[in-house]
Amino acid sequence: MSDKHLSTQFDSELSAISTRVLEMGGLAESQVAQAIYALVNFSGDTATQVLKQEELVNQMEVEIDRDLSTIIARRQPTARDLRLLIAISKTIGNLERVGDEAARIGRTVQRLINSGVSSRLRVPANDVSFEASLATASLRKALDAFARLDAVKALEVIKDDNQIDQEFDGLMRKLITYMMEDPRTISASIDPVFVAKAIERIGDHAKNLAEQIIYIVKGTDVRHHSLENLESIVR
């Protein structure tokens, strides 16, 4: 009975942490959306908002990590539960990095506005928005997969990453063309280059998140595995 009691306490602590992780993920996701909004609409206010949210995301990472350590030390979890707790720690590390990328975009927008570059800048807004929508969709899918511990959905996220990479390549070609057409825009075009890169990285982080989920569900560390290998592990 005492074991049962402990296990129930553990479950409720775990469920509280999972809720916090999803909350942190939701914050990071909205941070990315706002960063892109700030870029496309040249909104300094929204960029400032993104940077404020980053502090919140950072703080949540530190708090959740502290809670995880407390649970491990107090509950002495089984190997399987431990795997879950460590995977959660890596998951929030990924979410924090998503927040970092959003903040990079936010700081870029602030710098662009401060340097009065707006009129000369040729951000290919539709393309950046499209690449970003793919990345945020991936992130949302990964958070869904985490909420349901759904390895099949996690595998989809890993597959989706190729499309984001292709979008990035296309966007890069477009930016290079703009720069060659009008070399005076080169200086201003470097920022969009890094924004496109930041979005591609957000896709990478979603993929890393998905790998952690498969590890939680299947117990196999699938980082650095081939896609075919992944298929056979997940199905």
Distance between CA atoms of residues 157 and 206, nearest Å? 7
| DSSP per-residue string spanning 142-200 | HHHHHHHT-HHHHHHHHHHHHHHHHHHHHHHHHHHHHHHH-GGGHHHHHHHHHHHHHHH
Task: Tell the smallest beta-carbon distance from residue 45 to its own copies (Å).
Answer: 23
Q: Which is nearer to its own copies, 41 or 176 (CB)?
A: 176
Distance between CA atoms of residues 223 and 168, nearest Å? 22
Binding mask 158-197 for its own copies (x = CB under 8 A): --------------x---x--xx--xx-xx--x--xx--x
Candidates 13-21, 41-49, 87-95, 128-136; binding stretch for its own copies (CB under 8 A)? 87-95
User: Residues in contact with its own copies, total (CB under 8 A)?
Assistant: 35
Distance between CA atoms of residues 209 and 203, nearest Å? 10
Task: Tell the smallest beta-carbon distance from residue 32 to its own copies (Å).
Answer: 19
90: contact with its own copies by CB under 8 A:
yes
Burial 114-127 (b: 16+ CB within 10 A, else e): eeeeeeebebbeeb
Query: In the complex, which residues of this chain contact its own copies (CB under 8 A)?
Result: 55, 58-59, 61-62, 65-66, 68-69, 72-73, 76, 78-79, 82-83, 86, 89-90, 93, 172, 176, 179-180, 183-184, 186-187, 190, 193-194, 197, 221, 223-224
